Amino acid sequence: MAQLDLTITELQDHIAHLNKVAEVLLNMNNNDIENRRLARYDYAKMNLTAAIKIEEVEKEIETSQNELNISIDEYEYLVRRLEKFGEILSYSKIIDTSRNEIQWE
């Protein structure tokens, strides 16, 4: 579960970065001069290359979101199993306690 939690966090960070890259690429062609200026600044700050295309970024976002959904589903499945295990242990403890009480009486 801890590994899945780390994977989910990494995927969320990766998707956030990709969304920022996509935003910068879209703003590079914006009609507003100020938006283009800020986009060029972010473009340089992020060390993006001229070869990067918005289509590639969108595809990577989609792939990462699919991986994130799978990881979240697996995490939730493990949480449900752990909760069920806890219920079984709790029920087992109640049964053992009641057996001991019966034997002592």
Centre a 10 Å sphere on the Cβ of residue 15 and count the other Cβ atoms it contains.
18
Q: What is the pLDDT of residue 104?
A: 46
pLDDT tens per residue across span 11-33: 999 999 999 999 999 998 888 88
The domain containing residue 61 runs over which residues? 2-104
Centre a 10 Å sphere on the Cβ of residue 39 and count the other Cβ atoms it contains.
19
Both tokens assigned to 27: 């703003």
Provide the H-helix boundaries in the chain: 2-27, 33-45, 54-104
Centre a 10 Å sphere on the Cβ of residue 43 and count the other Cβ atoms it contains.
19
Burial 71-99 (b: 16+ CB within 10 A, else e): beeebeeeeeeeeeeeeeeeeeeeeeeee
In this prediction the pTM is: 0.78
How many structural domains comprise the chain? 1
pLDDT tens per residue across span 36-66: 999 999 999 999 988 999 999 999 999 999 9
